[in-house]
Amino acid sequence: MAQQHGSARDKVRLTLIVGALGVVFGDIGTSPIYTLQTVFNPDDPHPVPVSTENVYGICSLIFWSVMFVVTINYILLAMHADNDGEGGVMALITLLRRSAEGRGRRVALFLAALGIFGASLFFGDSMITPAISVLSAVEGVKLVRPSLAEAVVPITAVIIVVLFLVQRRGSASVGRVFGPVMITWFTVIGVLGVAGIAKHPAILEALSPSYAVGFLFGHFGIAFFALAAVVLSVTGAEALYADMGHFGRKNISRGWLFLVLPALTLSYFGQGALIIEDHANISGPFFLLAPDWLRLPLVLLATAATVIAAQAVITGAFSVTSQAAQLGYLPRLRVAHTSEHEIGQIYVPWINWLLMVSVLTLVFAFRSSAALAYAYGMTVTGTITITTLLFFYIARQRWQTSLWLLIPGAVVLLSIELLFVAANLTKLFHGAWLPLLIALVAFTVMTTWQKGRAIVTAERRRREGTLSEFIEDLTRNAAQIVQVAGTAVFLNRGNQTAPLAMRANVEHNHVRHDHVLIISIETLPVPRLTDEERITVDALGFEDDGIFFVSARFGYAESQDLQAALRLLDPGTTEGRLDLDNASYFLSKIELRRGAEPTMAAWRKRLFIATSYITADAAEHFGLPRDRTVIMGSHIEV
């Protein structure tokens, strides 16, 4: 029996590792297609001269950058800072909130803003990754059929359109093939790398860090600018952390150490050997590693791998958007769950079409992966550096790690990452401005929404009045109010104030139901909750009036299905008097208007109101039945 259980666990572990290979490593796994080609691109504003010494130095820099940033920073360090198993920037933000409790307000605001800017950079990454990944793969056809060079951009555009059109179907149906495709991919690029190394085995000497250090400090004028392209070798590192909740830290670590890292290393060093053999190979060293007969199949495999990489980052954008909305940084958007088994597989239509338009714009504007590479590095370096800063703060505040351990580690890692940031800033006018602009726009929208939401909440609370006083007035004036049979459910923001819809129903219609549930929906800074944690009931001292306050709690990664949550109610807590199958649901719709009060700058008021128009329908968001939902309006000035 124990042997059977062990076999079952091994199968589950293997399935998770294969799944991680198909989703988590798609982005970083396709980096060899364009990294070395970009480093030695003669059209670069700061080109790296092609020489044996420089190739050794670049290969060594790439290897040790991957080791420090991915293996040490993410695998060994950052992935230990999880929020109930979930990783990524949004998980770090929730950890920061807890760490900042009881501390200075300025520190809390700065840390929250830093985390939100990191999430904003990810939105830039989710636009650039599909464009550069698919472009770099399709560009391989130029080596197979030079006459097809003009078709690269149109082919890329078609692939991208199809990719976004199928998002509504979800990744569940195609997810089963992701792992095997990526296993094939890593095996192929590793084997091709070995073939390249065989032509110049001495390239393996560059595994020594002395080559990286010697190149960086011996040729700093060249090496510094080269770092802007070297950083492309760690693109997708954030995915290892962000997808930790789906596959687990150990499974991701095993996939990285035993397959992905060796395959990437062999590919980079094989390309380096190929360039040393013939400097003309800088035009496309990745595809030139393959013999002529294998290049077309390799282009097709690369295209499949880059589509998977794009799929992973698009899904990540959906997740970040959903979690940001749950935490109050974005308006509530329509979210469709595309899998009955994996709650993390979601589809956000508004974000999907925004990304599609943005990606296509980038493809037609930049027209080559080399041109986009200048923009790509900025998102990577910015996100990695912010993650490192937040990790070390959390390590000190939450785990009380000794400073003598933290300071040396922080100095080494941040020095490397800030050097990458500085190098990418030199490309500011060659494309690096783009991700910064995208991040700035996203950051402005999120912080404006958070501030405007707080203003509206305060004004709404003032208008609603105290819930206890409202119910007392309801009892005193019972003779003037018609009491109708049935159950009414009013959504509210807490148990302190009266629902606007309920107040309007009583004051204007002079009607109330026999049984009333006032529901407050709370999003907790944890991914998921159990059924036992979902619902609590409070009679508020008015159980004789048939009025109950219900708190429904959800994790930030969950679908907020109110009807499903209410079915968990114990009939004993509400005296068994509810008829949920025929209950009426009442929502308060708020219309926002610009007011004269200086609550925010005028432009931020306009932005806040404009952003509110993309808010999803509340009835749909909470899974309410259309035929039993009543919406009552009100307006608030900001």
Residue with tokens 């800072």: 81
CA distance 551 to 534: 8
Q: Report the pLDDT value the prediction gives residue 260, as an integer from 0 to 100.
A: 95
3-state secondary structure of 346: strand
DSSP string, 161-175: HHHHHGGGG-SHHHH
- Structure tokens, 192: 């091709």
Residue with tokens 């800088």: 282
Q: Which positions ≥6 away from 325 have C-beta within 8 Å?
A: 331, 332, 333
Cα-Cα end-to-end distance for the chain: 65
CB 39 within 8 A of CB 282: no
CA distance 534 to 565: 7
Q: Report the pLDDT value the prediction gives residue 91, as an integer from 0 to 100.
A: 78
Average pLDDT over residues 71-78: 93
Instruction: Give the class (CATH, top level) of 12-431.
Output: mainly alpha
Share of the chain above pLDDT 90, in %: 34
pLDDT category at 258 given cuts 50, 70, 90 is very high
Task: Using the Cα atoms of residue 131, residue 121, residue 373 and residue 268 in order, give the sign of their dihedral.
Answer: negative
pLDDT above 70 (res 171) = no
Tens digit of pLDDT for each residue in 364-391? 998 888 888 878 888 889 889 999 988 8
pLDDT above 80 (res 189) = yes
pLDDT above 50 (res 341) = no
Q: What is the residue extent of each domain of the chain?
A: 12-431, 457-637
pLDDT above 90 (res 502) = no
Tens digit of pLDDT for each residue in 416-470? 999 999 999 988 888 888 888 999 999 999 999 999 998 888 888 888 788 888 8
Tens digit of pLDDT for each residue in 510-541? 888 888 889 998 877 676 788 888 988 887 76
More confident residue, 588 or 277: 277
- Structure tokens, 158: 């078609």
Which whole-number Å values give the CA distances from 79 to 111, 300, 521, in the listed order? 19, 33, 30
Q: Report the pLDDT value the prediction gives residue 463, as an integer from 0 to 100.
A: 81
CB 355 within 8 A of CB 167: no
pLDDT category at 240 given cuts 50, 70, 90 is confident
